[in-house]
Amino acid sequence: MLSEKIEKGLIKQLNRESESSQLYLSMAFWVEKKGYEGICEFLYDHSNEERIHMLKLVRYINKRGGNIVLNGISIINVTYQSLKELFIKLLGHEKKISQKINYLVEISLQEKDYFTYNFLQWYVEEQIEEEALIKTVLDKIELIGEDKGGLYFFDQNMKNFHKKKNCD
């Protein structure tokens, strides 16, 4: 059985993962409309990954006898001034998620819930990867700056990266 505190924390996290999925999805719309064929695939893909993060939590909470409540989520229709702004926001978002995961790890230790502590290690690893990935994309976008040709090639590279990833 999960303690009330852990159950509440995990349910909040699963709703955050669901929101993350919607956030990536809404960013993918925006990017696709701007004509970036590769970057939009990256964001659509990532939206699916966030859904998988949510499902992992759903399955774990159910296995431990918790009661899930889903928040109503509306698609976030935000527009951005630039790709750079979008990825800055995304990095900020992932950093916030990392803090929440760290907090959950902390309370799982306080509550001596070592099953949950162990379960959360996957998310800890994932956040390290995600922050690094978004930071790498942002660094590249900053490096390219106003160079439209550079941006075009970067977008094409992202498309190939996406194709390769789906074939591996």
Among 11, 14, 15, 17, binds ligand OFO (CB under 6 A): 17
Footprint of ligand OFO on 82-141 (CB under 6 A)? 94, 97, 123, 126, 130
CA neighbor of 20 nearest in space, from 44, 41, 45, 51: 51
CB-CB contact of 50 with 25 (8 Å): no
Greatest alpha-carbon span in the chain: 56
CA distances from 92 to 38, 67, 104, 135 (A): 22, 30, 19, 10
Query: Which CB atom, from 76 or from 143, has the smaller least distance to ligand OFO?
Result: 76
Among 20, 26, 108, 116, binds ligand OFO (CB under 6 A): 20
- Residue 19 as a binder of ligand OFO (CB under 6 A): the answer is no
Count CB atoms within 10 A of the CB of residue 20: 23
Query: Which CB atom, from 53 or from 162, has the smaller least distance to ligand OFO?
Result: 53
Binding residues (CB under 6 A) for ligand OFO: these are 17, 20, 50, 53, 94, 97, 123, 126, 130
